């Protein structure tokens, strides 16, 4: 947390020092008399610089406004805390806290006088003040005298700056509160707020942090409405009347608790607490409400629907015990007190913080010693007895002791982080309604908005993502549960100044009109239809942009909107990156993108057109599978089917004939084997699919008119050096130059549709262009008007759309986006399109011839199935062959006899001999093999059968 960024400038500090000296010089009563009276109040208990024993009394000062909302709660709490410390034997044994109180009366002047009186008493610490402005002034005094200022109510974030080393805040920093408000604004979807604040250090610093917090959420403060610290009712009324004329209806109120209710009273009288308004109050409002009597219905009626933040304090037993005796504290306190609020808890804990730190300080062997300030001794003979104020020698050590304290008080854990802020900042989010307030959630810097208490979330991993933010439903002003829009078009406001392109070509989209409102076209009708769907009136006026002689430059129109010369731009404005950086666009109402249109010529029929349906790879694989299936079927049928037998030449011809005759289902050979029929069935199915696809593709090629251009798309166009036509005023020119690096000299500006046709027909060799690059909606109209004589080549190479341009963060952009979506859903957008842009469809001619080619990737699944079927069949076939071959193999004796009878032959390898026998075995007919195996099996059975007398019968 970069609190160091909040340091007060040196000039501002110097002015405050000069003011301090002026205030001191203006005191009429001699300062030594004042200091003498103050010393009497201290009961003469100041510890001398030579004291080395534990002091019997330690002076602690307080500075706050007794009769303020905060002071009435803090006074009894401080007195009770001092009594509890003095009665506790475990804290400061032998030392009594002596409380010296001074009333600042909400005055910087009186606060300066009071702190000077307080410092002569050699106080250890000063508790207070409650005002951030007073804290800025007296911080210079405590810095000089090394006395820590413990403030339980000064929430100005800039007080954490390094300029105030002896200022220590014992309440929550407004830095966190403003980030909580930013999260609430984001949660409900608002983008702009109006800040109403008191114009002092407290108000200005808080709203400055709020602006930073909203900027991180892509929101902003649209107007800062400053109020004087003691503004009259008429001043408040004038301010509210002014902000009521603005667009935003979300108000963040950051004022003082003593005068804040008058603002809501005035707002109610001006009917600003009704439906559509949003009021968010900082922690000052719950402090006031907690201090009110429970039956104060008049005040509650002023605040119906307000969202407020209150310091979150856990409901511990210690807190409940303190609150149970609160009424008795009011009667004991001589100052008097009103209702209880969270500042009473912080004030009570502040006293205990000082006491515990002092106890540790003394236990470490340090003394409460004071010494003279050389700067104050040298007064050049001044009558002011400034030397009566002394420096606390152990001030720096005592400050470090305070910073390392860690204990649990009434308000929760008292511990400081590196920026001297209390750890675990958290707030209750309240919704005021009826006769009280309802808590709709919590906020903490650990988890953001949640309906679960922060103490539970601290035990879980940190999560501040947008999806984890939750609040219960709220009741808003006007007794409605519907979340207000947060923005309206102001009554009595100026009409919107809307820029409209004054086109001279493609006037169907937008053009000048003699009748009111002075413009017409597709884009105007869409805008008017969307405006009519808004739940509030939007007065507007159209302003033509352009000289009427050529199309305007659209980048200039968008830039004029960004520069506040127009409030919006309505027309065929393309949403591109460089434009979205300076304006906000609505939801696109027309899809668009850049395309290339070129002159084309008709493709004549080719004698080789029958080859075009398939790619080369498809033809190659298909032919290979015809041969493969023919060979597989021949292998499976050769042993049992005489149609697949014969001489080698005859069998080879059978394979080729059978393979390619299946293409026409005209094969005459019958398949007898089960495996052959299995393969053939699958192959015929594949052939059926291939034939059907081939026929359909060839029919399309021969019957559909084909157009061709030597330019195939944006890539081939950019690679050349021929002239390219672009529409006057279009973003296409800059896109081609900046994104595609096309030379500017190649671009020819075309101002009308007639020039489109003329330059394309002339061509680059006769002063024309090779192609035109423009957006698809324009090209579709152009092609329709030219009877589709030209053609879109290649693909659409950018994707964009047309939208209405508004100034940055304009709520109208969001509302009109919703209206455009509604027009699209109910069909009105299409009706408007048909009214203005009905034309012939030339998109079919843009198909390239190559798109009719059927590639292998469309059929590889069929080929895979067929291949698997062939493989399985072959495996089964050869397994059967091997089993038969093993049964057929002759025995060794027989083989030896055969070798003796036959003449000697050259020796061959065993493998080649076995392979030759296996091939010969496979080539035999199935019937012959079965006959050879059957007798052999019968002989074996005879040789193995025993006789009746138990002897084996020999076959010999």
The CATH number given to whatever domain includes residue 341 is 3.40.50.2300
Residue 668 lies inside a defined structural domain of this protein: yes
Strands 805-806 and 584-585 turn out to be antiparallel
In a shared domain, residues 438 and 304: yes
In a shared domain, residues 632 and 692: yes
In angstroms and rounded to an integer, the radius of gyration of the C-alpha atoms of the chain is 48
Number of separate domains in the chain: 5
In a shared domain, residues 585 and 545: yes
Is residue 509 a contact partner of residue 501, using CB atoms and an 8 Å limit? no
C-alpha–C-alpha distance, residues 915 and 169, integer Å: 101
Token reading at 619: 């033809």
In a shared domain, residues 552 and 676: no
Residue 951 lies inside a defined structural domain of this protein: no
Residues sharing a CB contact under 8 Å with residue 47, sequence separation 6 or more, in sequence order: 55, 122, 367, 368, 369, 370
The pLDDT value recorded for residue 560 is 96
Residue 40 lies inside a defined structural domain of this protein: no
For 438, the domain range is 174-316+425-468
Is residue 41 a contact partner of residue 114, using CB atoms and an 8 Å limit? no
The pLDDT value recorded for residue 949 is 44
The pLDDT value recorded for residue 818 is 92
C-alpha–C-alpha distance, residues 42 and 77, integer Å: 21
Residue 18 lies inside a defined structural domain of this protein: no
Token reading at 747: 């671009």
Residue 929 lies inside a defined structural domain of this protein: no
In a shared domain, residues 676 and 715: no
To the nearest 10°, report the CA torsion of 738, 742, 744, 745: 180
In a shared domain, residues 218 and 120: no
Among 539, 529, 528, 540, which Cα is nearest to 499's? 540
Token reading at 529: 């239809």
CATH assignment of the domain containing 546: 3.40.190.10
Q: Rounded to two decimals, what is the model's pTM? A: 0.66
Residue 443 lies inside a defined structural domain of this protein: yes
C-alpha–C-alpha distance, residues 63 and 274, integer Å: 41
Residue 926 lies inside a defined structural domain of this protein: no
In a shared domain, residues 91 and 103: yes
Among 736, 799, 738, 739, which Cα is nearest to 771's? 736
Domain limit, last residue, from 703, 724, 756: 703
Domain limit, last residue, from 703, 736, 755: 703
Q: What single DSSP character describes residue 855?
A: P
The pLDDT value recorded for residue 630 is 75
**Dihedrals phi, psi of 867, to nearest 5 degrees:** -60, -40
Among 294, 406, 349, which Cα is nearest to 74's? 349
Residues sharing a CB contact under 8 Å with residue 263, sequence separation 6 or more, in sequence order: 196, 227, 236, 240, 253, 255
Number of other CB atoms surrounding residue 230 within 10 Å: 11
The pLDDT value recorded for residue 901 is 40
Strands 594-599 and 790-793 turn out to be antiparallel
CATH assignment of the domain containing 717: 3.40.190
The pLDDT value recorded for residue 643 is 67
The pLDDT value recorded for residue 16 is 45
DSSP run (H or E) holding 379: none
In a shared domain, residues 616 and 677: yes
Q: How far is CA 783 from the centre of its chain?
A: 42
In a shared domain, residues 451 and 542: no
Token reading at 394: 């152990």
pLDDT profile of the chain (956 residues), mean per 10: 38 44 40 38 39 79 90 91 93 92 84 84 91 90 92 92 93 95 94 94 94 92 92 93 91 92 93 94 92 78 94 90 79 52 93 95 90 73 68 92 94 92 94 91 94 92 87 94 86 82 92 87 95 88 91 94 94 93 94 90 65 79 80 75 68 72 66 75 80 78 62 87 92 91 93 91 90 92 84 88 92 90 94 83 48 70 82 82 68 42 49 61 64 58 48 39
Burial of 224 (0-12, 13-18, 19+ CB in 10 A): middle
Burial of 183 (0-12, 13-18, 19+ CB in 10 A): buried
In a shared domain, residues 578 and 670: no
In a shared domain, residues 255 and 386: no
The pLDDT value recorded for residue 664 is 65
Residue 16 lies inside a defined structural domain of this protein: no
C-alpha–C-alpha distance, residues 520 and 586, integer Å: 20
C-alpha–C-alpha distance, residues 612 and 709, integer Å: 18
The pLDDT value recorded for residue 466 is 83
In a shared domain, residues 697 and 714: no
């Amino acid at each position: 947390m970069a609190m160091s960024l909040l340091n007060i400038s040196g000039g501002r500090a110097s002015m405050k020092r000069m003011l301090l000296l002026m205030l001191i010089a203006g005191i009429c009563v001699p300062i030594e008399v004042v200091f003498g009276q103050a010393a009497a109040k201290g009961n003469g208990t100041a510890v001398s610089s030579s004291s080395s024993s534990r002091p019997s009394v330690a002076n602690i000062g307080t500075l706050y406004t007794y009769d303020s909302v905060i002071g009435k709660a803090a006074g009894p709490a401080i007195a009770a805390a001092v009594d509890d410390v003095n009665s506790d034997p475990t804290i400061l044994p032998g030392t009594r806290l002596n409380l010296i109180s001074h009333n600042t009366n909400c005055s910087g002047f009186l606060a300066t006088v009071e702190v000077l009186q307080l410092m002569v008493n050699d106080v250890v610490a000063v508790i207070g003040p409650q005002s951030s402005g007073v804290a800025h002034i007296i911080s210079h005094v405590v810095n000089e005298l090394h006395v820590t200022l413990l403030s339980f109510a000064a929430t100005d974030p800039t007080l954490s700056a390094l300029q105030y080393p002896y200022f220590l805040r014992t309440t929550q920093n407004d830095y966190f509160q403003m980030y909580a408000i930013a999260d609430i604004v984001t949660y409900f979807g608002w983008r702009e707020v109006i800040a109403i604040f008191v114009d002092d250090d407290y108000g200005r610093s808080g709203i400055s942090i709020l602006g930073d917090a909203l900027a991180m959420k892509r929101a902003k403060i649209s107007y800062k409405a400053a109020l004087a610290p003691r503004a009259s009712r008429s001043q408040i009324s004038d301010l509210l009347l002014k902000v009521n004329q603005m667009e935003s209806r979300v108000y963040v109120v950051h004022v003082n608790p003593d005068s804040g209710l008058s603002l809501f009273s005035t707002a109610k009288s001006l009917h600003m607490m009704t439906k559509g308004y949003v009021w968010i109050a900082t922690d000052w409002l719950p402090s006031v409400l907690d201090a009110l009597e429970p039956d104060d219905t008049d005040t509650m009626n002023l605040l119906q629907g307000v969202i407020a933040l209150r310091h979150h304090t856990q409901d511990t037993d210690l807190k409940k015990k303190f609150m149970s005796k609160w009424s008795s504290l009011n009667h004991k306190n001589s100052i008097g007190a009103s209702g209880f609020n969270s500042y009473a808890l912080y004030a009570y804990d502040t006293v205990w913080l000082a006491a515990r730190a002092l106890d540790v300080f003394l236990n470490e062997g340090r003394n409460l010693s004071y010494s003279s300030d050389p700067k104050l001794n040298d007064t050049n003979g001044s009558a002011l007895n400034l030397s009566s104020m002394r420096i606390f020698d152990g001030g720096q050590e005592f400050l470090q002791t305070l910073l390392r304290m860690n204990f649990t008080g009434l308000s929760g854990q008292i511990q400081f982080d590196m920026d001297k802020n209390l750890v675990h900042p958290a707030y209750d989010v309240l919704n005021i309604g009826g006769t009280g307030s309802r808590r709709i959630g919590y906020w903490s810097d650990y988890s953001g908005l949640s309906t679960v208490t922060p103490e539970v979330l601290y035990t879980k991993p940190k999560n501040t993502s947008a999806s984890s933010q939750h609040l219960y439903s709220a009741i808003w002003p006007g007794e409605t549960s519907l979340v207000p829009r947060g923005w309206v078009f102001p009554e009595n406001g100026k009409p919107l100044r809307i820029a409209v392109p004054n086109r001279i070509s493609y006037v169907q989209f937008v053009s000048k009109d003699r009748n009111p409102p002075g413009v017409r076209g597709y884009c105007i009708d869409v805008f008017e239809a969307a405006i009519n769907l808004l739940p509030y009136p939007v007065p507007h006026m159209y302003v033509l942009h352009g000289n009427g002689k050529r199309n305007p430059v659209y980048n200039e129109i968008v830039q004029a909107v960004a520069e506040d010369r127009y409030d919006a731009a309505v027309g065929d404005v393309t949403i591109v990156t460089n434009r979205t950086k300076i304006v906000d666009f609505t939801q696109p109402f027309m899809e668009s993108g850049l395309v290339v249109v070129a002159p084309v010529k008709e493709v004549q029929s080719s004698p080789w057109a029958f080859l075009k349906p398939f790619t080369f790879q498809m033809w190659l694989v298909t032919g290979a599978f015809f041969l493969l299936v023919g060979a597989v079927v021949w292998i499976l049928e050769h042993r049992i089917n005489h149609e697949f037998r014969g001489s080698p030449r005859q069998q080879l011809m059978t394979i080729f004939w059978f393979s390619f005759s299946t293409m026409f289902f005209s094969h005459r050979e019958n398949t007898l084997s089960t495996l052959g029929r299995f393969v053939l069935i699958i192959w015929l199915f594949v052939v059926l699919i291939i034939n059907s696809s081939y026929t359909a593709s060839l029919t399309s090629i021969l019957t559909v008119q084909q157009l061709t251009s030597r330019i195939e798309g944006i890539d081939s166009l950019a690679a050349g050096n021929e002239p390219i036509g672009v529409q006057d005023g279009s973003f296409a020119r800059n896109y081609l130059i900046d994104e595609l690096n096309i030379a500017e000299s190649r671009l020819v500006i075309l101002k009308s549709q007639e020039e489109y046709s003329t330059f394309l027909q002339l061509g680059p060799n006769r002063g024309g262009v090779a192609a035109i690059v423009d957006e698809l909606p324009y090209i579709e109209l152009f092609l329709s008007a030219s009877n589709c004589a030209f053609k879109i080549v290649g693909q659409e190479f950018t994707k964009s759309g047309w939208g209405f341009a508004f100034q940055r963060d304009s709520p109208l952009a969001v509302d009109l986006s919703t209206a455009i979506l509604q027009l699209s859903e109910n069909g009105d957008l299409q009706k408007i399109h048909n009214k203005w842009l009905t034309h012939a469809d030339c998109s079919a001619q843009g198909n390239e011839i190559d798109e009719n080619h059927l590639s292998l990737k469309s059929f590889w699944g069929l080929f895979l199935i067929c291949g698997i079927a062939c493989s399985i069949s072959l495996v089964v076939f050869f397994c059967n062959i091997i089993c038969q071959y093993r049964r057929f193999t002759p025995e060794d004796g027989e083989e030896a006899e055969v070798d003796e009878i036959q003449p000697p032959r050259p020796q061959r390898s065993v493998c080649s001999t076995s392979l030759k026998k296996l091939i010969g075995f496979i080539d035999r007919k199935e019937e012959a093999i079965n006959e050879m195996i059957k007798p052999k099996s019968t002989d074996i059975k005879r040789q193995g059968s025993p006789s009746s007398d138990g002897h084996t019968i020999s076959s010999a």
